[in-house]
Amino acid sequence: MTAGHRAPRRVGVVGAGMNGLACAWFLQQAGVDVTVVERTDVAAGASWGNAGLLTPALSVPLPEPSVLRYGVRALADPRSPVSVPVRADRDLARFLTRFVAHCTGGRWRRGMAAYRPLNEQALEAFDELARGGVAAPTRVAPFTAACRTEREAEHFAAEIGRVVGAGQAVDVELLTASELRDQLPMLAPSMRMGVRVLGQRAIDPPAYVAALADSVRACGGKIVTGVDVAGVRRDGGKISLATRDGQYAEQFDAAVLASGAWLPELGAAHGVRTPVHGGRGYSFTVDAEHPIPEPVDFPGLRLACAPYRGGVRVTGIMEFQRPDAAADERKFATIRESAAAALTTVDWSSARDHWVGARPVTSDGLPLIGATATPGLHVTGGHGMWGMTLGPLSGKLLAELIVTGRTPRELLPLDPCR
């Protein structure tokens, strides 16, 4: 404990997604009384319809030179899986300008140095949740990148090579066409080689987040839904969270903003200046005569598929759009078209659970975890494509900071006020 620091007794957490609930859970382990306030319901944001891959081997800063090359090409193609609105508003323009500035090899390597210690501990944080009573399993699940051409496979292998070059151990196998066919016979014949990443895991995202919420409640925490927090104020040494109509107003010793892609709405007034934008993804679930037994990524098609409740959850698209904008129904067709070129034996007419959700993407590709400029107010979020993988560890490290007053060294580069 830092001299002069008093551990808070009551902490309010805004947002019942993976990040808010994980932080609440780890705070409870340290004896803190937590209340999670959520405007909709548990897992109402990005934590519901995602692919559920726990893949620290792939958790890397999003801005890098090849994203820039791909992005510029993709923006010219209306059916591309990457899109921005025709007229970018001021926030999006600011976000994209900063994002582009971070697409350099040097910045990527600096960002990766921050990811590496997180990736190395990410899965252990899930084990800790399991030991502490979170009743949903994580499945050991190798992750296969299925590629149509040597070039696609080389590109994916080069991405992994950069992670290894940053000092992170990653265990991969290269699969020839026949090995790929043996292991995943339901892939389309156009998939000619594979790169298999071992030692990864997967979850059923809605079930996992619901189990985490159950565990928070079972340990005495409150989860209050239907509360849209509009104001966060520090008053007489307390942090108050309140709705616009005043129907909900509570004071806490400390608070955590874990409001996903909506973070800027509450964080900007408290010194969180790094732009965060919704990078929206789409997903749906289909039945298949032979569902995939493990997660498969199709890097050339910008799709990831995962086994889900007896079927296949198909996910894709990176659409820079406001988190609450209506779903663009054409995106489902874009994904379906790509997926039809990747998977056989699928009954496309069974498509259900159509979903759009906003990844909280930061302009520098690093999460935001730590204290804000307002004493007692903290943030965990901005994990972009990897908030399920990194949520539990982020919550654990932030809980340590809140309780002891000491910033764990893993969080130093992730300062929300950087």
Ligand X SMILES: Cc1cc2nc3c(=O)[nH]c(=O)nc-3n(C[C@H](O)[C@H](O)[C@H](O)COP(=O)(O)OP(=O)(O)OC[C@H]3O[C@@H](n4cnc5c(N)ncnc54)[C@H](O)[C@@H]3O)c2cc1C
In 169-310 the beta strands, taken as DSSP E runs, fall at 172-175, 193-197, 201-202, 222-225, 229-235, 238-243, 249-252, 254-257, 276-288, 296-298, 303-308
Strand, helix or coil at 30? coil
Per the structure block, which two tokens stand in for 320? 């820079």
Minimum separation from the CB atom of position 46 to ligand X (A): 4
Angle between helices 105-131 and 18-29 (to 10 degrees): 60
In this structure, the number of other CB atoms found within 10 A of the CB of residue 349 comes to: 7
Q: Give 40's contacts (C-beta < 8 A, 6+ positions apart).
A: 225, 226
Q: Contact residues for ligand X (CB under 6 A)?
A: 14-20, 37-40, 44-47, 50-53, 227-229, 258-262, 266, 281, 283, 315, 357, 359-360, 381, 383, 385-389, 391
Instruction: Specify whether the CB–CB gap between 340 and 186 falls below 8 A.
Output: no
Helix (H) or strand (E) holding 380: strand 377-381
Partners of 280 in the beta sheet?
Answer: 319, 358
Torsion of CA 35, 41, 42, 44, to 10 degrees: -130
State how beta strands 276-288 and 346-362 pair: antiparallel
**Beta carbon nearer to ligand X, 8 or 295:** 295
Which residue, among 286, 318, 319, has the nearest Cα to 305 in the 3D structure? 286
Minimum separation from the CB atom of position 148 to ligand X (A): 22
Phi and psi angles of residue 103, each rounded to the nearest 5 degrees, phi first: -80, 60
Minimum separation from the CB atom of position 347 to ligand X (A): 21
69-97 as b/e: b if 16+ CB within 10 A: eebeebeeeeebbbbbeeeeeeebeebbe
Angle between helices 150-165 and 105-131 (to 10 degrees): 80
**Beta carbon nearer to ligand X, 32 or 227:** 227
Tell me, what DSSP letter sits at residue 323?
Answer: T
Minimum separation from the CB atom of position 146 to ligand X (A): 16
Instruction: Specify whether the CB–CB gap between 211 and 18 falls below 8 A.
Output: no
Minimum separation from the CB atom of position 358 to ligand X (A): 7
